[in-house]
Amino acid sequence: MKILSWNTRGLGSKKKRRTVRRFLSTQNPDIVMLQETKRETWDRRFVSSVWKGKRLEWAALPACGASGGIVILWDSSKFECTKKVLGSFSVTVKFNSGEEGSFWLTSVYSPINPLWRKHFWLELQDLYGLTFPRWCVGGDFNVIRRISEKLGETRLIFNMRCFDEFIRESGLLDPL
């Protein structure tokens, strides 16, 4: 199974959607998670402008004005969606597949605002309780886990500790 996650920084222009569509056709993912779509509504026509497929389905968290927006796209001939959970900062889908069995997938777009970040981490903790034991999380956390991941960064900040703690406590594996 191939899952692709991408912060698109907006899908408003036809040129951007063509770029995304071309890239997705070269990568041939099974599931696509897009963050920062800056899109309030999703319909079949718009979805088709982003990714090609015969039986595309999606779960989307609308953008608030010109910021945010998350969508998970999949081919319903490969995966059956049995549950969708829309949070304030995430979209979570429970999938069933003959090959993979049942699993949960969450796409996140973390806020920058420090007051909202606390709610973001709490939302993820709640999702962990719901999705255990087969959970995959991806997206834009707007934070790095280790100092070595950013040039010029010399100190461990609070959100880095929260991110690392979340990964460890949830039993998630960091592929990097």
Residue 124 lies in a domain: no
128-150: pLDDT as tens digits = 999 988 999 999 988 877 766 67
> What is the CB neighbour count within 10 angstroms for residue 77?
11
98 within some domain: yes
d(CA 34, CA 20): 10
pLDDT digits (tens, 9 = 90+) for 148-172: 667 666 666 788 888 888 888 888 8
Q: Is residue 69 part of a domain?
A: yes
Q: What is the dihedral of CA 144, 116, 50, 15, to 10 degrees?
A: -80
Question: CB–CB of 53/70 below 8 Å?
Answer: no
Number of domains in the chain: 1
Tell me the backbone φ, ψ of residue 150, rounded to 5 degrees.
Answer: -135, 130
Residue 63 lies in a domain: yes
Q: Which domain holds residue 18?
A: 3-106
Phi, psi angle pair for 128, to nearest 5°: -55, -45
User: Model pTM?
Assistant: 0.89
pLDDT at 54: 79
Are 163 and 143 spatial neighbours (Cβ–Cβ below 8 Å)?
A: yes
127 closest CA partner among 154, 108, 141 = 108
**40 within a domain of the structure (yes/no):** yes
Domain presence at residue 19? yes
Task: Name the average pLDDT for the chain.
Answer: 89
158 belongs to a structural domain: no
Q: Which two tokens stand for residue 38?
A: 């800056």
- Predicted local confidence at residue 66, as pLDDT: 72
Q: What is the CATH number of the domain that holds 18?
A: 3.60.10.10
Position of tokens 């099974």? 30
114-131 and 158-170 helices, crossing angle to 10°: 0
Domain-embedded: residue 116? no
pLDDT band at 25 (very low <50, low <70, confident <90, very high): very high
